[in-house]
Amino acid sequence: FEGHAIEARLYAEDPYDGWKPQSGRITGWRPEAAESPGHGTPRGGVRIDHGIAAGTEVTPHYDALLAKFIAHGRDRTDAVRRLVRALEQAPLFGPASNARFLRDLIQHPRFAAATMTTTLLDEWQAGGAPLLQRPVPHDDAWRIAAALLAGDEAQRPASVSRFDLTLQCDGQQRTLRAPPPGVRVESFEGSALRVAIDGRHRRLHAVRTEAGLQLAIDGAVFGFREPSPLPAADAAADPRRACAPVAGVVAQLAVAVGERVALGQPLVCVEAMKMEIWLHAAAAGRIKAVHAVPKASVAAGALLVELDSAE
C-alpha cells in the first residue's frame, strides 16, 4: 500500500441544527459523478460505498448513515483534496445531510495540523464557530437559480424579455431580473448542470422539486422557491404548540392533560435514528391536549402537545 487514504461518512443529519436526524425521499444522487478510476491502486481515486438511489425513502427508523466516501492520494494533503472534490461532485438531494460540514471540516487548519480532539466540535458549537453556522447562498447561486426557474424563452410571450422574479431560500428573499444578465444555462440533463456566469463556465448539479429547485454549489445544497401568495401559519413559532422537530417515534411522554407545567419543563421525547430529542415547554401554563402516543410514529411538524398559557 502506498500513499494515504481517508474516509468521510455521509449522514442524514443537520449539523447546523443540533445534528438532528433528517428523513424524506432522496430526489437526486449520482455518486458516479465523483468516483474516479484506480480504486485501491497506488494511482489513487475515489470510491463511494452506498446502498441508496434517487427515490429511496430515508426513514427515521434506522441509522442515519447513507454513504462512505473513500479517497486515496499520494499523501494526506492529496487525499483530502480528492475527498473535497468528491463531496462537491456527488451532492445528495432531498433530506439534509452533513456533506458541506464534512467538506469544510477536512479543510480546517486544525484538521490539517492533525490536532483535532473529541471535544472540539462541542467547543466550536458553544463558541459559535463559523464552521457550524448554516451556509448561505451567495450571489452566483441566486442568479443561477433565477436562470433555471425563469423558464424557457420559447414558453414566454414575445413581448416579455425580462421580468422580476422573487425567490426564497433558507429564510432569505430576493427579487432578481430574470433571466439574469450574464447567466446562460448551457445544458441541464438529469441533475448535471452546465452554466456560464459572467464568462466563467461551471459544472454543477441541481434537481427540480415540487416546491421549486435544489441547487448544489460549493458543497452545499440550497432550496429555492417562489413565495406563495398565501400567508403561512407558523405553528413552530407558537409557544403553546409543541411540534415534532423531525420525523420519528414518540419515545416518552412526560405530561398529561390538565397538568400545570413550568417554562422549560420536559413535555415529550421524539426518537429518530437512535437520537432522542426532548421538547420543552416554551411557556408556563396548563396542558390543554396531548396528541402524542408513546411508540407511535410522527411526521416532522406534527402537533404533539398543546397548552394554555398561564393566566
Q: Is the dihedral of CA 106, 121, 219, 130 positive or negative?
A: negative
pLDDT at 73: 93
Measure Cα distances from 199 to 75, 141, 227, 292 in Å: 35, 15, 30, 55
Measure Cα distances from 282 to 64, 202, 238, 261, 276 in Å: 28, 46, 9, 10, 18
Is residue 142 over pLDDT 60?
yes
Alpha-carbon radius of gyration of the chain: 22
> In CATH terms, is domain 139-224 a member of 3.30.420.40?
no
Tell me the three cell numbers of residue 254. Answer: 412526560
DSSP state string for 168-183: EETTEEEEEEESPTTE
Measure Cα distances from 91 to 22, 48, 176, 200 in Å: 16, 12, 26, 21
> In CATH terms, is domain 4-132 a member of 3.30.470.20?
yes
Sorting pLDDT into bands at 50, 70 and 90, what band is 154?
A: very low
Q: Which residues share a beta bridge with 164?
A: 177
Class of domain 235-309: mainly beta
Q: Which residues share a beta bridge with 278?
A: 269
pLDDT at 211: 84
pLDDT at 239: 85
Rounded average pLDDT over 272-301: 88
Preceding peptide of 181 cis, ω within 30°: no
Q: Nearest CA to 133 among 168, 170, 101?
A: 101
Mean pLDDT of the chain: 88
Domain boundaries, the chain: 4-132, 139-224, 235-309
What is the pTM for the complete model shown? 0.78
* pLDDT tens per residue, range 60-75: 887 889 999 999 999 9
